Amino acid sequence: MQAFLGLDVGSVSTNIAVLNMQDQIIDNLYIRTQGRPIDAVQSGLREIKERNPELTIEGVGTTGSGRQLAGIVVGADSIKNEITAHAVAAIHIVPDVQTVIEIGGQDSKLIIIRNGIVTDFTMNTVCAAGTGSFLDQQAARLNIPIEAFGERAIESSASVRVAGRCAVFAESDMIHKQQTGHQIPDILNGLCQALVRNFLNNLGKGKELKGPIIFQGGVAANKGMKRAFEEALNCSVIVPTYHNVMGAIGAALLAKEQMAKLEQATVFHGFDIVDFTYTPRSFACDGCPNICEVIELKMNDQITAMWGDCCGKWSKSMPL
């Protein structure tokens, strides 16, 4: 079966989507990166190949904070930033979408779309408050499985105000609420409301959030967060079926678009890369005052790529 492959490699999760020639999602995978993006990519592709032995890959796209590294490892035809990938996927799922809320493991994004074009966006990469990793930490501290966090939050019938502007303050406030006898569902609901206030006050400040509104990313699985957004925005919020792999879906769609433009065969290295050995390292280039951090990647003991230099001294020395 002919298909396009999309990979979204982030600091918390590595997501893979497989789309057929009709842009239908035929398989997807969400795994933890665990600080080893190359291992995560190899492990994910191995599982995809085992589940779909008949696949013929016509194009590959990568996105996420590890998109450059993943693109070199797999041989990507398209390497795009997360804003582009998430917007393309959202428009694919809901063509008239006007607002995209995306909350991942380590950052959050707000994308404004008008008439199918991204007109504005903003990201929060400074504070962990409101991200998936912070919710993971709080669920673990309360001894609640993260999968049950949302269900417990929507059991709440009483409002408890939790400070959400800073992760440290939020955790301290939650501990204080526990010590004063508040019920766990009420505290979880209060945390969801606090994180939504934080998101809207920081990323949504001065922006017009119009419906349809899509909520995507791993945190979108949290029903408490969805309800908190709907209460704050006073409108319904759509959580797509494949909310946790939307970046990968967008990357696959962008790869298909790129292949149509280039009209040439994919540069995908094939599924054999799952058994290759990759060794990355970095060094500081002292060729000028910029002192760029140059990344070097060896594949099976051969230098296969270098990047990170502003002038191209090292990256342009590599064969195309």
How confident is the model over 201-218, as pLDDT tens digits? Answer: 888 888 899 989 999 988
The pLDDT mean for the chain works out to 88
Average pLDDT over residues 88-99: 96
Question: What are the C-alpha distances in Å from 202 to residues 51, 135, 165, 193, 198?
Answer: 42, 18, 9, 14, 6
Residue 118 has pLDDT above 90, yes or no: yes
Contacts of residue 277, defined as CB under 8 A and 6 or more positions apart, other chains included, come to: 299, 300, 301
pLDDT attached to residue 243: 92
Q: Going by C-beta distance under 8 Å and a sequence separation of 6 or more, which residues neighbour residue 134?
A: 128, 167, 170, 195
- Amino acid 161: pLDDT: 81
Q: Do strands 117-124 and 13-20 pair parallel, antiparallel, or not at all (unpaired)?
A: unpaired
Indicate yes or no: pTM above 0.75: yes
Most trustworthy range by pLDDT among 123-137, 165-179, 220-234, 246-260:
246-260
Closest by Cα among 222, 211, 212 to 244? 222
Beta partners for residue 282, in sequence order: 295
Measured CA to CA, the distance from residue 193 to residue 162 in angstroms comes to: 8
Please provide the distance, in angstroms rounded to a whole number, between the alpha carbons at the two ends of the chain: 29
Over 60: is that where the pLDDT of 320 sits?
no
Q: Which of 20, 17, 51, 52 is nearest to 31 (CA)?
A: 17
Mean pLDDT: which of 8-12, 124-128, 188-192, 251-255 is highest?
251-255
**Is pLDDT above 80 for 230?**
yes
pLDDT given for residue 140 in this prediction: 80
Binned at pLDDT 50, 70 and 90, residue 127 comes out as low
Task: With beta carbons less than 8 A apart as the criterion, state whether 198 and 84 touch.
Answer: no
> How much of the chain exceeds pLDDT 90, in percent?
50
Assigned token pair, 287: 């060729």
Average pLDDT over residues 11-25: 93
List the structure tokens of 304.
């296969």
Q: How far is CA 318 from CA 78, 174, 262, 270, 305, in A?
A: 19, 53, 22, 21, 6
Mean pLDDT score, 296-318: 86
pLDDT at residue 248, rounded to an integer: 96
Has residue 247 got a pLDDT over 90? yes
Residue 52 pLDDT > 70: yes
